[in-house]
Amino acid sequence: MILGIDVGGTHTDAVLLDGRKVVKKVKVLTNPEDLGSSLLEVTRELLEAVSPGEVTRAVLSTTISTNAIVQNKVSPVGMILANGPGIPPSLLAIDENSQFVSGYMSHRGIPVTPVNGREVEEVAGKLQIKGIEQVGIVSKFSSRNPRLELDIEKAAGSRFRHVSLGHRMSGNLNYPRRIATTFLNAATWEIFRQFVDVINAFMDSFEEKFPIYILKADGGTLEINQSVKYPAQTILSGPAASIMGILSLSDCGEDAIALDIGGTTTDIALFADGVPLLEPQGVTIEKHKTLIRGLRTKPIGVGGDSAVRYEQGSFVIGPERLGPAAAFGGPGPTPTDAIIVLGLAATGDRKKAEETLKPLAERAGLSLEAAAEEIFNGACRLISAAVSEMIEAVNNKPVYTIHELLEGRILKPKILHVVGGPAEAMAPRIGEILDCTVSIPPNAEVANAIGAALSRTTTELTVLADTEKQTLTFVEEGIQIPISSTFSREEARELCLDHLKKRALSFGAREEDLEMEITEDQSFNMIRGFTMTGRNIRIKAQVKPGLMADFGKGGPG
Amino acid sequence: MSDTRRTGLVFFPAFDWAISPTHPEREERLLYTQDQVFEEGLLDFENITEYKPGLATLDDVNRVHICVPEAARVATESHLISAGGAITAADKVLSGEVDNAFALVRPPGHHAMRVVHGARGFCNINIEAIMVEYIRKKFGRLKIAIVDTDCHHGDGTQDIFWHDPDTLFISVHQDGRTLYPGTGFPKETGGPNARGTTVNIPLPPGTSEEGFLFTLDNLILPILDEFKPDIIINSAGQDNHYSDPITNMNFTARGYAILNDRLRPHIAVLEGGYSVETALPYINVGIILAMAGIDYGYVKEPDYDPQKLKQDNDVTAYIERLIPGLHDQWKQQESLKARTLTVGSQEKRERSIYYDTDNIHEEQIETVRICEDCGGLLTIDSMASTGNRIFAVIVPGGGCPLCRKEGEGMFEATKSGSIYRYVYFQDTDRDTFITR
């Protein structure tokens, strides 16, 4: 049996699953001061229905890192940055603890200027005097060659309790994002480590152990003790839990749209052949644009409780929420009130809903029914328009080859999965507008916990081979090995998949869940003066976000 | 950052296209530029937006070129995307979505002339010229200035706008006596109806930041001030760089950034530049930052050494003599126009054109009608070593009724078959293109 727990901002949801069957579900209010206590509370309750020996794994989705960042309860971090020429340092610094040192790596991963050990020691000393215990070390193009970061770590690392290295965060290029990601990782390390300690201590109280996983922003899981190295990967796992939940409840294997219609906002996600789409670069949290792999979601300010006004001849819906719907004792009209007036949902106080809409209807010169219809339609249209925009953005993403430009895959979702309070009432109309079949999955109220429970372990790996330099780099692992000048693209692919597998297993993946794919596969002939001098090979592979082998499409239901 | 500008970037490196397996115009050409642009995080700036290139149509090509035998045989998909990228950049600027835009696309186009029998100087179709005529088709007959900062003379663009009084073409390049295509001398100032709107600035080998910026400040910017174009286009070749393998200049990434900052082009379009690893990544970052109004003061090549790149005194002296002379020549353009022939008469231009990339020779006789009201009716008799001899009648953009009427008559009277394999009629304003 599997435990799935989602510690959300308001509620902590937990499920005990036997196969796909929900044996028990628990919902408690989250204690924002002590997330660990909410977690332990629901876990204890679930474990009343099963003995720990029968549990094969538990997966947690937690807002611990997210909250620490949003509420600015993170540790101060010293950033040691080898930036070299390019955009100005003022646009790279996180705060006054960002220190710039010499050292420059070229785009080909060739060190142009080495690290100056004495300068690094000096900078580290300054940070140490300030009482800083966590540092992030990031060099430009460290995802081409980690050398400078490793050299800086060697010169300064021992002075600090924790060091986050840029190249371990992501194999992608983008220096400002790599700096932000490394900063967040170092900044949340302490608070996340303490959280893991609490869980480990709790687990120690059981005779029989089971592995615990943490859900990441990309909808994949990571073994809890491994996750201590990568706390930044766990931010924004909440929306990922919902999306994975929809995936697990709907048997989605094709292009699809997922909507989570809440009170204030509606979250939109998209699937391509049943695989949730990822943010092209990485997630954004507060002001930080990062390289953290995350599921692509788009929130819009329309939900069941959005405030409705009548302005300049039309109804304006959202984006603010003033309180619950009038039918539930709230201050003013909302789409939920319109839904109740139209008889699309038999909840709340219908009379209050009618009363709150009446003045609006009069001002609009419409009957009560007609006004409710217009508000309801308006909310559905806003959501549909945002969905269309998101699909268009995905289909218009820049591509860099003629082949992709002319024959690129176009996302054409024909199925709409909807969860959330107003799902039953609004889904049919939205489906009509978007020309999609509608599905409302069962157990939707604990979709997030189910999603966390059933997600597989994911990771990615970038392999760069430069046959002119005769070097191969496993970027995220910070390892370089020599290769021959005849090293081929096929060999690079093989090596990449082989190491990806090892990497995933070390993160806690099960062999049978390793659905791997190559996501980038390029080889360029390097021409210098009408002669080919080598090949520049770039391979990226991932374990796709998805459900564990027995629970995906086609598995036993 | 109050003086930031909204900048559009159309980036299309065509990673699956090369002229031939070891040709400099190759898949790898913009690879390191992509790496540098991505690593610097330029696409994350709120004021920089990336756009996917559109596809230019054959009509867009036929508005500018006489392709032999037809546009579809000369312009492959890669060329239509490259031209389409330039068009996308123009659309975003002219619709007001952005303040300026950079089409970082390949293959290039500025050696492609009006008549196209094949590829020359790595170019098949002229992507800037196609963009210019697209702009006029969609947004009206604007006054446009093209400043070609490629190290090679932009002979194709010069040819296309030779007779167009509404297009100012300024080319600054390495002296044609020392570099392909061997043209672009000060005496080349435009056709009889557009005298002065072509300006050629041949700079000596070894010209450095100093010389380029002197030329910009003392000649190019003053001429632009006087011409008062609605739109400024930078034909942004990047082979003036000190590390370029096929040229002999000493320009820098910083220099390109300053140039774009002062020139303030509405649209920049990549042309040549084959120092793909040591120049292009840094130049392109510099240009993008400069266009977007972001501090480019920290942009430099890893091996940048101002001492090594210091301009020789004799080069400086040469440029300081050349530039005032060219400015005087520009100012005399009105009197040059007055010396032209009687209205209604014809002037001929006979040329041999070599297509180095495809090894084709062309003999061409171009005849223009002297006209005070438009660029003048143009006819071209062209014979190529491919065996194709063609005749083209061209009513220019903004063409006057008299030139159009005469042109229609000439097209009627010229038969294909015996002498000419193909006869073409092009009327830019009406978007008419007929092949016979």
Question: Is pLDDT of B416 > 90?
Answer: no
A532 falls within a domain: yes
Which candidate, A480, A522, A84, places its Cα nearest to that of B281? A84
Of A462, A518, A514, the residue nearest A178 (C-alpha): A462
CA A34 to chain CA mean position, Å = 23
DSSP code per residue over A21-54: EEEEEEEEE--TT-HHHHHHHHHHHHTTSS-GGG
* Residue A167 · residue A478 · CB < 8 Å: yes
Query: Is A401 touching B (CB cutoff 8 A)?
Result: yes
Same domain, A232 and A256: no
Residue B174 in tokens: 């390495």
Which residue in the set A104, A397, A525 is minimally distant from B27, CB to CB?
A525
Q: Is the residue at A327 inside a domain?
A: yes
Clarify whether residues A286 and A405 are in a common domain: yes
Tens-place pLDDT, residues B137-165: 999 999 999 999 999 999 999 999 999 99
Residue of A nearest to B281 (CA): A107
What is the band of B334 on the pLDDT scale with cuts at 50, 70, 90? low
pLDDT in 10s for each residue of chain A, 557 residues: 999 999 887 788 999 999 888 999 998 888 878 888 888 889 999 989 898 899 999 999 988 899 889 888 899 999 999 999 999 999 999 999 999 999 999 999 999 999 999 999 999 999 999 999 999 999 999 999 999 999 999 999 899 999 999 999 999 999 999 999 999 999 999 999 999 999 999 888 888 889 999 999 999 999 999 999 999 999 989 889 999 999 988 878 899 999 999 888 899 999 999 999 999 999 999 999 999 999 999 999 999 999 999 999 999 999 998 999 999 999 999 999 999 999 999 889 999 999 999 999 999 999 999 999 999 999 999 999 999 999 999 999 999 999 999 988 999 999 999 998 899 999 999 999 999 999 999 888 888 999 999 999 999 999 999 999 999 999 999 999 999 999 999 999 999 999 999 999 999 999 999 999 999 999 999 998 889 999 999 999 999 999 998 776 533 33
Measured between beta carbons, the chain B residues lying within 8 angstroms of A406 are 77
Out of A441, A466, A492, a domain closes at A441
Is A284 part of the contact surface with chain B (CB cutoff 8 Å)? no
Question: What is the average pLDDT across B409-435?
Answer: 92
Same domain, A303 and A290: yes
Catalytic residues of B: 111
Q: What are the DSSP calls for B64-108, one per residue?
A: T-EESS-HHHH--HHHHHHHHHHHHHHHHHHTTSSSEEEEEESS-
- How much is the pLDDT for A420? 87
Does the beta-carbon distance from B16 to A403 stay under 8 Å? yes
pLDDT at position B337, please?
A: 65
Residues from chain A contacting residue B26 (CB–CB below 8 Å): 525, 527
Residues A145 and A113 in one domain: yes
> Does residue A93 sit in the same domain as residue A154?
yes
Secondary structure class of A453 (helix, strand, coil): helix
Tell me if B207 sits within 8 A of B315, measured CB to CB: yes
Per-residue pLDDT for B81 more than 80?
A: yes
Alpha-carbon gap, residue B107 to A122, rounded angstroms = 49
d(CA A207, CA A413): 48
Write out pLDDT tens, residues B359-386.
Answer: 999 999 999 999 989 999 999 999 999 9
For residue A126, how far is the Cα from the chain centroid? Answer: 35
For the ranges A317-321, B163-167, B249-253, B330-334, the lowest mean pLDDT is seen at: B330-334
Residue-range definition of the domain harbouring residue A501: 456-543
The topology (CATH level 3) of B7-334 is Arginase; Chain A (3.40.800)
Backbone angles phi, psi at B272, to 5 degrees: -80, -170
Residue A424 shares a structural domain with residue A276: yes
Give backbone dihedrals phi and psi of B125, rounded to 5 degrees, phi first.
-125, 155
**A528 falls within a domain:** yes
Interface contact flag, B31 A403, Cβ < 8 Å: no
The whole-angstrom separation of Cα A557 and Cα A319 is: 39
* Boundary of a domain, candidates A203, A232, A250: A250
Identify any residues that bridge with B236 across adjacent strands, giving them in sequence order.
Answer: B270
**What three-state secondary structure class fits A335?**
helix
B11 closest CA partner among B94, B74, B84, B60: B84
Burial of B44 (0-12, 13-18, 19+ CB in 10 A): middle
How far is it, in rounded angstroms, from Cα A169 to Cα A179? Answer: 10
What distance in Å separates the CA atoms of residue A193 and residue A231, rounded to the nearest whole number?
8
Q: What are the backbone dihedrals phi and psi of residue B335, each rounded to the nearest 5 degrees, phi first?
A: -70, -30
CA nearest to B378, candidates B416, B418, B427, B341: B427
The secondary structure of chain B in percent helix, strand, coil, rounded to multiples of 5, reads: 35, 25, 45
Judge whether B391 and B417 are in contact, CB under 8 Å: no
Q: Could you tell me the CA-to-CA distances from A484 to A147, A287, A310, A535, B22 in Å, in that order?
A: 21, 44, 71, 11, 21
Cα(B6)–Cα(B292) distance, rounded to whole angstroms?
6
% of residues, chain B, pLDDT over 90: 92
Q: Do A87 and B298 touch (CB under 8 A)?
A: yes
Nearest neighbour of A86 by CB, restricted to B28, B277, B285: B285
- Are A521 and B15 in contact by the 8 Å Cβ rule? The answer is no
* Interface contact A399, partner B, CB < 8 A: yes
For B272, residues 6+ apart whose C-beta sits below 8 A from its C-beta are B108, B110, B121, B122, B150, B151, B152, B237, B238, B239
Q: Which of A18, A89, A96, A106 is nearest to A55 (CA)?
A: A18
CA dist list (Å): A56 to A13, A526, B109: 19, 51, 64
**Distances, alpha carbon A248 to alpha carbons A204, A235, A236, in Å:** 31, 21, 19
- Does A481 reside within a domain? yes
Distances (CA, A) of B403 to A413, B192, B376: 55, 15, 6
Note whether A555 contacts B: Cβ–Cβ < 8 A. no
In DSSP notation, B206-273 reads T-BHHHHHHHIIIIIHHHHHHH--SEEEEEE--TTBTT-TT---BB-HHHHHHHHHHH--SEEEE---
Cβ–Cβ contact A287 with B under 8 A = no
User: What CATH number is attached to the domain comprising A402?
Assistant: 3.30.420.40
- Measured CA to CA, the distance from residue B351 to residue B410 in angstroms comes to 22
Q: Decide if A481 touches B, using CB distance below 8 A.
A: no
**Per-residue pLDDT, A557:** 33
Per-residue model confidence (pLDDT) at position A432: 97
Q: Closest-CA residue in chain B for A139?
A: B39
Residue A428 Cα, gap to closest chain B Cα (Å): 34
The reply to whether A62 and A141 lie within a common domain is no
Decide which of A125, A160, A180 is a domain's last residue: A180
Amino acid at B171: S
Q: Are residues A167 and A270 in the same domain?
A: no
Phi, psi of B176 (to 5 degrees): -60, -15
Cα separation, A91 vs B325, whole angstroms = 44
Q: What's the total number of domains in chain A? A: 4
SS3 B417: coil
Minimal Cα–Cα distance from B278 to chain A, Å? 9
Phi, psi of A360 (to 5 degrees): -65, -45
How high is the pLDDT of residue A35?
A: 81
- What count of other Cβ atoms lies within 10 Å of the Cβ of residue B325? 11
Residues A218, A151 share a domain: no
Domain ranges of chain B: 7-334, 346-435
